[in-house]
Amino acid sequence: MKKFFKIVKDTNPELRAKCKEITEITPEIISFVNEMHDYLIASQDEKISQKYNIREGVGLAAPQVGRNIRALVVYFEEQTDEGVHIVDHRLINPKIILESVKEVYLSGGEGCLSVDVHHEGYVYRHNKIQVKAFNVQTQKEEIITARGYEAIVLQHEIDHLDGILYYDRIDKKNPFVQKEDAIRI
C-alpha cells in the first residue's frame, strides 16, 4: 500500500459537508482515486488490516479521507452462478440519473469506516440505479447500472458526497420497520 489514509470519523463535522464537483480531472486527482482504491483492497487483506489496524471496507468516498471533492471507490468480490465477479468502481462526479421504485436493504444493516459505533436498523435503498460518472479506469464518462448489493454500496458512497451517513436513513422510531415489497439481502 503506497498511501496510508487516516479515516475521517463521523465525530468530525467535515464529514457532513457537501462535496465539490471536480471541474478539472488532473493526473493528481486520478492518482488520488487510485490510492483510495488501493487502500480499499489493502483493507480487505487480513494481514495488512491487522498490521495497520484498519477496518475492512467495500467502499470509500473522498471526504472520508479528508478531501471535499466528489470522488469515490467501490471494490468487492461476489460469488455468482458464473463464478467470482469483481465489482470495481473508481468514479469522479457520480450522479444518480435513474432509480427504481423497488427497494432493497441489508438484513444486518449497513456499516461505515467512518462510524465506529454500530447503528442498528434497516437502511432502505433503491434496488436498481443508473449512475453517470467519469470512470477513472476507462478515462471516459460512462453510465453504470447497478443492482442489489452493488447499488446499496454505491448509494452509501454517493451519500457521503452530500454529507449523509447511513444511520440518517434509519427510521428513528422503528429502526426495523418492515417495508412491503422491499428486497432483503
Least distance (Å) between residue 99 CB and Zn ion: 19
| Residue in 78, 142, 157, 180 annotated catalytic | 157
Q: Is 62 in the site for Zn ion (CB under 5 A)?
A: no
3-class DSSP state of 113? coil
Least distance (Å) between residue 83 CB and Zn ion: 28
**Residue 78: count of CB within 10 angstroms of its CB:** 12
Q: What angle do CA 143, 30, 60 make, to 5 degrees?
A: 70
Interacting stretch for Zn ion, rule CB under 5 A, among 22-30, 66-74, 108-116, 176-184?
108-116
Least distance (Å) between residue 57 CB and Zn ion: 8
Interacting stretch for Zn ion, rule CB under 5 A, among 47-55, 81-89, 112-120, 136-144?
112-120
Say which residues have a Cβ less than 8 Å from residue 82's Cβ, sequence separation at least 6: none
Q: Is 29 in the site for Zn ion (CB under 5 A)?
A: no
Q: Is 112 in the site for Zn ion (CB under 5 A)?
A: yes
Where residue 107 falls (left for φ over 0; alpha for ψ -120 to 50; beta otherwise) is alpha
Judged by CB, which is closer to Zn ion: 92, or 112?
112
Q: Is 157 considered catalytic here?
A: yes
β-bridge mates for residue 77, sequence order: 86
Rounded Cα distance, 1 and 52, in Å: 11
**Binding positions for Zn ion, rule: CB under 5 A:** 112
Catalytic residues: 157
